[in-house]
């Protein structure tokens, strides 16, 4: 009987222990569930905060894109249209509901956007400020920028910048300059003809003092004629009509003629010209008159800014792809601070103005455009008080006759 009683007590103790353990486990589980619930609630709150922030940033980006004065078209990683801003829709007459999620080639469905689609079809790379005429007096500059995220391509940004107004103003300015220069040319030629007659004594012999005055008038008239011709050259460049007549030409002959045209100046300054003339040089298809102008500009500058008794070296060479001309002087050089502007309109170095105040600053601008119209390159290297070398290279195509 005692044994049974002991067993019952032991079982009751075990039951109590089990209940205590079970209760503790329940409490622990409840605490864990509570913690989990708190963690999930916190996670949801953080996710919601991030979602709200992302939406705010998205809305900000959309507002910025919509407010752009330029037309913007965003392509996704498959080059399908992801977004078109209002300016692009207005400028090109686009309908976004028809174009979103479609290839950019569908831009050709819209008459005004066809030239843009054609340009993009040639390749999205290396398009920067490419001028395209959409219609009369409507010109845009097209640029394409790749979009990268963590070095991964996520699409392209197409920028459409309307330059119609600037181009119209430029054209009006060019037309005015051309008209004014043409109007000035006739009276200046008449003045030159009259002064020449005076100088030759057609109206009677001039005194020594009169000769000095007439010579000064003639020199200034020549400068005005040179300036007018320079302005006309600039007008032709800006009208894209600068190459007139091309023909098979021997560059060596053009150089020889250019040197001969400065024989008086060369003699006055006692300058030695060393023309390293190559043998068996091939002829090329060139606009002879325009290339002669470039060579004359190089030689003219070299003479003006060389010291009396100086030396000028002219060299011409050819490789399989290009010919290259170099005109080197040992004169005043170009100040380093002004070298980046040397091929712009009316640009002249301060030291050059001190030596010769009458230059127009148009010669090198014209030369650059002539060479580039031939598909060539123009450049220089210079050091002040040491000298300057001007170069141009032109593509040599023996198959062109």
Return the pLDDT at 310: 92
Average pLDDT over residues 220-226: 82
Between 278 and 400, the higher pLDDT residue: 278
Between 140 and 397, the higher pLDDT residue: 140
Average pLDDT over residues 332-341: 88
Between 130 and 312, the higher pLDDT residue: 312
Main-chain dihedrals φ then ψ at residue 393, nearest 5 degrees: -125, 145
Return the pLDDT at 325: 94
Residue 201 banded pLDDT, cuts 50, 70, 90: confident
Burial string for 344-381 (b: 16+ CB within 10 Å, else e) reads ebebbbebbeeeeeebbbbbbbbbbbbbeebebebebe
Across 6-15, 125-134, 270-279, the highest mean pLDDT is recorded for 270-279
Average pLDDT over residues 18-45: 58
What is the torsional sign of CA 244, 248, 252, 256? negative
Q: Is the predicted pLDDT of residue 304 greater than 60, yes or no? A: yes
Q: Which residues contact 178 (CB under 8 A, 6 or more apart)?
A: 231, 232, 235, 236, 239
Q: Which residues contact 200 (CB under 8 A, 6 or more apart)?
A: none
Least reliable range by pLDDT among 26-30, 144-148, 235-239, 378-382: 26-30
Residue 380 banded pLDDT, cuts 50, 70, 90: very high
| Residue whose pair of structure tokens reads 């390159």 in the numeric block | 377
Cα 389 from Cα 379, distance rounded (Å): 9
Across the chain, what does the average pLDDT equal? 80
Cα 111 from Cα 107, distance rounded (Å): 9
Return the pLDDT at 259: 92
Quick one: DSSP state of residue 305?
T
Which H or E run includes 253? Answer: helix 251-260
Average pLDDT over residues 80-97: 85
Residue 155 banded pLDDT, cuts 50, 70, 90: confident
Average pLDDT over residues 242-271: 86
Residue 391 banded pLDDT, cuts 50, 70, 90: very high
In 3D, which of 301, 314, 390, 391 has the Cα closest to residue 352?
A: 301
Q: Is the predicted pLDDT of residue 10 greater than 60, yes or no? A: no
Percentage of the chain modeled with pLDDT above 70 = 78
Average pLDDT over residues 150-154: 79
Return the pLDDT at 2: 47
Across 47-61, 111-125, 254-268, the highest mean pLDDT is recorded for 254-268
Return the pLDDT at 294: 92
Q: Is the predicted pLDDT of residue 22 greater than 60, yes or no? A: no
Q: Is the predicted pLDDT of residue 20 greater than 60, yes or no? A: no
Q: Is the predicted pLDDT of residue 361 greater than 90, yes or no? A: no
Cα 218 from Cα 41, distance rounded (Å): 95
Return the pLDDT at 256: 92
Return the pLDDT at 349: 74
Between 56 and 216, the higher pLDDT residue: 216
Residue 11 banded pLDDT, cuts 50, 70, 90: low
Main-chain dihedrals φ then ψ at residue 326, nearest 5 degrees: -130, 130
The three-class DSSP label of residue 283 is coil
């Amino acid at each position: 009987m005692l044994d049974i009683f002991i067993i019952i007590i032991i079982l009751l103790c075990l039951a109590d222990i089990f209940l205590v353990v079970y209760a503790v486990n329940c409490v622990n589980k409840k605490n864990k569930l509570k913690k989990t619930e708190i963690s999930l609630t916190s996670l949801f709150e953080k996710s919601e905060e991030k979602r709200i922030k992302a939406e705010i940033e998205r809305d900000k980006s959309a507002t910025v894109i919509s407010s752009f004065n330029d037309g913007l078209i965003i392509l996704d990683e498959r080059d399908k249209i992801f977004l078109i801003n209002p300016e692009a829709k207005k400028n090109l007459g686009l309908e976004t509901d028809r174009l979103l999620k479609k290839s950019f080639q569908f831009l050709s469905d819209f008459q005004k956007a066809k030239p843009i689609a054609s340009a993009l079809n040639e390749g999205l790379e290396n398009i920067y400020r490419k001028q395209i005429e959409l219609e009369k007096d409507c010109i845009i500059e097209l640029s394409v920028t790749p979009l990268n995220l963590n070095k991964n391509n996520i699409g392209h940004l197409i920028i459409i910048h309307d330059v119609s107004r600037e181009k119209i103003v430029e054209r009006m300015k060019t037309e005015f300059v051309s008209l004014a220069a043409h109007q000035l040319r006739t009276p200046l030629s008449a003045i030159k003809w009259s002064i020449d007659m005076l100088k030759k004594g057609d109206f009677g012999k001039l005194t020594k003092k009169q000769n000095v005055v007439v010579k000064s008038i003639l020199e200034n008239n020549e400068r005005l004629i040179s300036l007018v011709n320079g302005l006309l050259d600039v007008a032709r460049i800006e009208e894209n009509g600068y190459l007139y007549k091309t023909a098979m030409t021997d560059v060596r002959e053009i150089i020889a003629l250019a040197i001969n045209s400065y024989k008086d100046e060369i003699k006055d300054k006692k300058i030695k010209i060393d023309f390293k003339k190559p043998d068996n040089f091939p002829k090329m298809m060139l606009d002879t008159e325009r290339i002669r102008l470039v060579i004359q500009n190089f030689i003219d500058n070299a003479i003006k800014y060389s010291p009396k008794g100086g030396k000028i070296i002219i060299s011409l060479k050819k490789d399989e792809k290009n010919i290259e001309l170099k005109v080197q002087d040992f004169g005043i050089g170009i100040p380093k601070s002004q070298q980046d502007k040397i091929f712009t309109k009316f640009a002249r170095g301060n030291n050059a103005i001190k030596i010769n105040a009458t230059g127009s600053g148009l010669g090198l601008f014209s030369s650059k455009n002539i060479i580039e119209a031939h598909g060539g390159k123009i450049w220089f290297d210079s050091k002040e008080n040491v000298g300057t070398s001007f170069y141009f290279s032109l593509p040599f195509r023996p198959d062109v006759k």
